[in-house]
């Protein structure tokens, strides 16, 4: 499956969660429910993957965690906030740089329609 098809499946799963739960819950609730939906769709994922910082050639555990990594290909950064701020995009961009992944999805579940809360960042560019 190519990366665009995979991201479409992920977004479909996220929309299903948002339709069922609506806005206003904690990120952790959306994360658990989204992982359930990903599993139902036969996608592999890892929750709360550690992300070390490489500083001057040294791997340093600073406690960073990737919310969800799907098919060892796409980072999902989940939010439940009033709006996506530039710092949220910067956070995901930094996670992409540190991890070497090419695509990240920033999903804000605290919106009336989930499509309004999706930012796709590929190769350092927000789409």
34/14 Cα distance (integer angstroms):
6
Chain centroid offset of residue 53 CA = 19
67/74 Cα distance (integer angstroms):
11
Tokens of 68: 């969800």
- pLDDT values of the chain reduced to their tens digit, one per residue, 127 residues: 899 999 999 999 999 999 999 999 999 999 999 999 999 999 999 999 999 998 898 888 888 999 999 999 999 999 999 999 999 999 999 999 989 999 999 999 999 999 999 999 987 555 5
Name every residue whose Cβ is closer than 8 Å to that of residue 13 and which is 6 or more positions away in sequence.
34, 37, 38, 40, 41, 43
> How long, in residues, is the chain?
127
First to last CA, the chain: 21
Tell me, yes or no, if the pTM score tops 0.85: yes
Name every residue whose Cβ is closer than 8 Å to that of residue 112 and which is 6 or more positions away in sequence.
23
């Amino acid at each position: 499956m190519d990366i665009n098809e995979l991201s479409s499946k992920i977004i479909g799963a996220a929309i299903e969660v948002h339709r069922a739960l609506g806005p206003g819950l904690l990120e952790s609730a959306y994360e658990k429910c989204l992982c359930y939906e990903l599993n139902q769709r036969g996608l592999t994922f890892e929750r709360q993957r550690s992300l070390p910082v490489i500083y001057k050639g040294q791997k340093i555990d600073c406690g960073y965690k990737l919310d969800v990594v799907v098919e060892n290909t796409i980072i999902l950064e989940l939010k439940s906030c009033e709006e996506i701020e530039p710092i949220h995009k910067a956070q995901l961009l930094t996670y992409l740089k540190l991890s070497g992944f090419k695509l990240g999805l920033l999903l804000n579940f605290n919106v009336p329609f989930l499509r309004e809360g999706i930012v796709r960042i590929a190769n350092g560019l927000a789409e």
